[in-house]
Structure 1
């Protein structure tokens, strides 16, 4: 008997399979045993159940005399089980000579844990040359489906999986100057980095480091029009997907850094960082810096920040905003932008 075990990945079931061969010696003499008389195979185990094959050389009933019949019996009579079974009669020389039947059966008390395959005339077996040396070879393939009791009972040990530490590991690369393969120079400060990290987070860095516009001197790339503190914050976000800790800075210095970081994010097409900076600036608007924030929003196409500035003006208590010194300065320097602010204010007021 050849056996195998398969665990279903979708359902909590286990499939136990086995192939059994039952050789009927003295085939000719056994034909005269009479109907309802059978020869039983040795018992075998599949799926935790005990099984046996029954061979009827002269039919199961008087009406089926002259026919060969095979039955599969489950000796363990306790619980129902679904089983896929197939029957093959094969000759020693050619085991593919004739394939019988394949079917799915539930063995239970109603069928007395017994299944009979359809009967076949003895003459048909003999004419097909399946009797070799007065021996008939019966092959039976059985697959028993049983529930995984450990899974059903919930008794398997639960392994707690820790939270992902990928960002923490990537953040450690920021301090790993040994494996760094590019250096950025910002004013008088240098920043070692990894080209693959920079390119993965910014299409601009990707073109600069790997594309046709890549720098000739890949050892050191000079970054113009940016403060070292801003580039340091930009690098920190690339490696950790988070902002630098700014609690040790004055509030105005924090806001100024976020403004410049928004400019850098827009410059390097880093949309998530730009959205974070916009969100922070929207929450700390004041009249003192409002004009600079409006200009920033306009220069870097930040519609959300511009809308927040209009909403701030609406709720600031300035009833005659158009006549204010602030608006006159904006209108004088940026007439189109002043028109946008006025339109947004009018739209907000019309919604009331």
Structure 2
């Protein structure tokens, strides 16, 4: 009797992949001196920050002292606007209204990452702060505020 032995080969295949995303964090301080003079410029009219750059993109903060629309006329509206021509920018934004000591008086964060495009460049809060409550709060010192 002849016996034949067969070698059984077991081959283990292992694969892996990875991605690395880059997160860039930035901030811009927007000081508004002479706040009382900004009121009455009109619903939907904004006062804009200087252009600033975060993540190779240019942005501005738009401050609407009389609200960004008729529905928001009793509120301070605020938004971040993309100024760079782009097709898909993802960003997580938050706005802080600062006290005179630099600590946040009021903060709000956009709920999720937002895809900006040049066709839809602005994201923000039409009812960021009730204007009458803010003015009565005592946080408006020397007719100035910081965002």
Structure 2 residue 25 is matched with structure 1 residue 17: yes
How do 1:206-221 residues align onto structure 2 when only pairs under 5 Å count? none
Tell whether the 8 Å contact from 1:91 to 1:129 is kept in structure 2 after alignment.
no
Q: 5+ unaligned residues in a row in structure 2: which ranges?
A: 1-17
- Partners of 1:80 and 1:137 in 2: CA distance: 29
Describe the superposition over 1:73-96 as per-residue Cα deviations: whole angstroms up to 9, x where unpaired: 010122211101101111113613
Aligned equivalent of 1:37: 45
Q: Describe the SS at the equivalent of 2:39.
A: helix
The answer to whether the 8 A contact 2:49-2:62 is kept is yes
Within 5 Å, which residues of 2 pair with 1:149-228? Answer: none
Please identify runs of 4+ aligned residues in structure 1 that moved more than 2 A. 100-104, 127-130
Give the TM-score normalised by the residue count of structure 2: 0.79
Distance in 1 of aligned mates of 2:53 and 2:118: 19
Structure 1: which 5+ runs fail to align? 1-9, 139-352
1:122 aligns with 2:135: no
Q: Which of structures 1 and 2 has the bigger CA Rg?
A: 1
- Give the alignment's TM-score, normalised by structure 1: 0.35
Aligned residues, how many?
Answer: 128
Would you tell me which structure has more helix in proportion to its own residues? Answer: 1
CA contact (8 A) 1:51 1:73 kept: yes
Question: Once superposed, what is the RMSD of the aligned Cα atoms?
Answer: 1.7
Looking at both structures, which has the greater relative contact order when contacts are Cα pairs under 8 Å and sequence separation is at least 6?
A: 2
> Counterpart in 2 of 1:58?
66
Distance in 2 (CA, whole Å) between partners of 1:53 and 1:37 is 13
Residue equivalent to 1:77:
85
The structure carrying a bigger strand percent of its residues is: 2
Q: Specify whether residues 33 and 19 from structure 1 end up closer, same or farther in structure 2 by C-alpha distance, changes over 3 A only.
A: same
